[in-house]
Amino acid sequence: VSDMFIALQGALTADHDIREEIRKVVQALEQTAREILTLLQGVHQGGGVQHIPKKCQKAREHFGTVRTQMESLKTKFPADQYYRFHEHWRFVLQRLVFLAAFVVYLESETLVTREAVAEILGIEADRERGFHLDIEDYLSGVLTLASELARLAVNSVTAGDYSRPLRIAAFISELDSGFRLLNLKNDSLRKRYDGLKYDVKKIEEVVYDLSIRGLTKEAPVGVGAEK
């Protein structure tokens, strides 16, 4: 019996060591994510939209660090035990998806694909190929993007940019239509999706306010979101 419990203790110690190594890399990823977020928050400030190209370029440089950190994370646990340790990096991965999606939107006003996000982060899109971007993590990040764009719509009006909210409204409308096609069974993701209707309502109120003030001039509001 003692030999059996000694072996069990050895397994527990090994598992603890793996989790500790994962935790260290995740902390580094969280720090990089905070740096990217701080950089991109500048677009909400007065005149910030004028510096979008420069901010996006710097953000992409930070994603180079993310890819290096992801490579390190992949080595910290057995390749076939992704979901055993998934909870350790789930939150930061969703945050990074949001940041990648925000950068792509700011650059082209399109919705980034899961495959493109995986490439930006230096991981796989397909589960069979190892460390990958889970579909639900991708969708959670996209929902965070919607909330950020609702905020950007409001701040754009404050900055005197009256056409951007119209484009954001069209983009979010298509995003909402896309999510309606999904049969979401994950409770956490479903709750996140329920919050999208509030983002839609918030942006619609901004557009309505612009309309009654006569500020919705003839301006292109094409979405450009990938189908």
Q: What's the rounded Cα separation, in Å, for the pair 197 and 212?
A: 22
Query: Has 148 been labeled as part of a binding site?
Result: yes
Contact 199, 216 (CB under 8 A): no
Q: What's the rounded Cα separation, in Å, for the pair 67 and 82?
A: 17
Contact 109, 103 (CB under 8 A): no
- 61-85 as b/e, with b when 16 or more CB fall inside 10 Å? ebbeebeebbeebbebbeeeebeeb
DSSP code per residue over 167-216: HHHHHHHHHHHHHHTS----HHHHHHHHTHHHHHHHHHHHHHHHHHTT--
Can you say which residues are annotated as belonging to the binding site?
148
Can you say which residues are annotated as belonging to the binding site for Mg(2+)?
148
